[in-house]
Amino acid sequence: MKIIHAKDYADMSRKAANIISAQVILKPDCILGLATGSTPIGAYQQLIKWYEKGDVDFAQVSTYNLDEYRGLSHDDPQSYHFFMRDNFFNHINIDLSRTHVPDGSNTDAAAACAEYDRMVAAAGYPDLQLLGIGNNGHIGFNEPDDHFSAGTHCVDLTESTIEANSRLFDNIDDVPRQAYTMGVQTIMYARMIVIAASGEKKAQAVRDMCFGPVTPSCPASILQLHTNCVVVADEAALSLCPEA
């Protein structure tokens, strides 16, 4: 696990975007695993700027997102389908038919998850997987548990995750209580993982991820075992790390 130090959120975003753009330039038809939430928005904005300058071309790129809320249609403004179009896809030259997000509108959880697993496996898994980390150490929507998950599955969101995500909704009661998420095993199949973290609220989770025991009580800790994992974090997020 390599740790890249950033000064602040803007610096973290540029450094993460640098790694992603390098992947696309080196392999124009690469597969990117993408994340949602507030953490990656800055990286997406930087990539959009570089695309507009002609520095990076997404025409042949395919993407697979980590997760989606269960029960939301693709056009729901709170869905991750909408999030990705609004924050990234609509501003670059990616072919939307090459973009994939779990189908939250399919209330048959077993069918929706099995189909997404099939698609990700058929594609050959991401060349680069971008992750954020939750305050409780979750990656995707893989919450702390007594075991590491395998494939895509339906999860009950913890109260801490619901509270953290409520800032994006009008009311905390509007936050879905379930989501479909890639499993930890699926995430680990990516050939490279970039995990971005910013802010003091993430400091304990980042410390546990990088320096704590590998345990499903901190799902991100499994990344210590990945052969090509890069942590891009700012000073506040690294403030509790002994070697930061």
Q: What is the mean pLDDT of residues 82-107?
A: 96
Task: Please report, for the domain that includes residue 67, its CATH number.
Answer: 3.40.50.1360
Q: Residue 217 falls within a domain, yes or no?
A: no
Q: Residue 230 falls within a domain, yes or no?
A: no
User: What are the φ and ψ backbone dihedral angles of 29, each rounded to 5 degrees?
Assistant: -100, 30
Q: Which three-class secondary structure state does DSSP give residue 196?
A: strand
pLDDT at 170: 78
Structural domain containing residue 64: 7-198
Q: Is the pLDDT of residue 184 over 80?
A: yes
> What is the pLDDT confidence band of residue 175, given thresholds at 50, 70 and 90?
confident
Annotated active-site positions, please? 67, 136, 138, 143
Q: What is the mean pLDDT of residues 201-215?
A: 97
pLDDT at 201: 95
> What is the pLDDT confidence band of residue 173, given thresholds at 50, 70 and 90?
confident
> What is the pLDDT confidence band of residue 42, given thresholds at 50, 70 and 90?
very high
Q: Residue 228 falls within a domain, yes or no?
A: no
Q: Residue 188 falls within a domain, yes or no?
A: yes
**What Rg value do the Cα atoms of the chain yield, rounded?**
17
Question: Rounded to two decimals, what is the model's pTM?
Answer: 0.93
Q: What is the mean pLDDT of residues 145-168?
A: 88
Q: What is the pLDDT of residues 209-242, one digit of tens each?
A: 999 999 999 999 999 999 999 999 999 999 999 8
Q: Residue 224 falls within a domain, yes or no?
A: no
> What is the pLDDT confidence band of residue 93, given thresholds at 50, 70 and 90?
very high
pLDDT at 3: 97
Q: Residue 235 falls within a domain, yes or no?
A: no
Q: Residue 58 falls within a domain, yes or no?
A: yes
- How many domains is the chain partitioned into structurally? 1
Q: What is the pLDDT of residues 117-154, one digit of tens each?
A: 999 999 999 999 999 999 999 999 999 999 999 999 99
Q: Is the pLDDT of residue 243 over 80?
A: no
Q: Residue 210 falls within a domain, yes or no?
A: no
pLDDT at 205: 98
**Which residues are within 8 A (CB) of 124 and not within 5 positions of it... i.e. 6 or more apart?**
31
191 vs 174: CA distance, rounded Å? 36
DSSP of 33-95: EE--SSTTHHHHHHHHHHHHHTS---TT-EEEESEEETT--TT-TTSHHHHHHHHTGGGS---
Q: What is the pLDDT of residues 48-84, one digit of tens each?
A: 999 999 999 999 999 999 999 998 889 999 899 999 9
153-156 β-sheet, strand order: 67-69, 178-181, 153-156
Angle at the Cα of 188 from the Cα atoms of 35 and 208, rounded to 5 degrees: 80
Q: Is the pLDDT of residue 244 over 70?
A: no
Q: What is the mean pLDDT of residues 7-11?
A: 98
pLDDT at 154: 95
Q: Is the pLDDT of residue 91 over 70?
A: yes
pLDDT at 164: 81
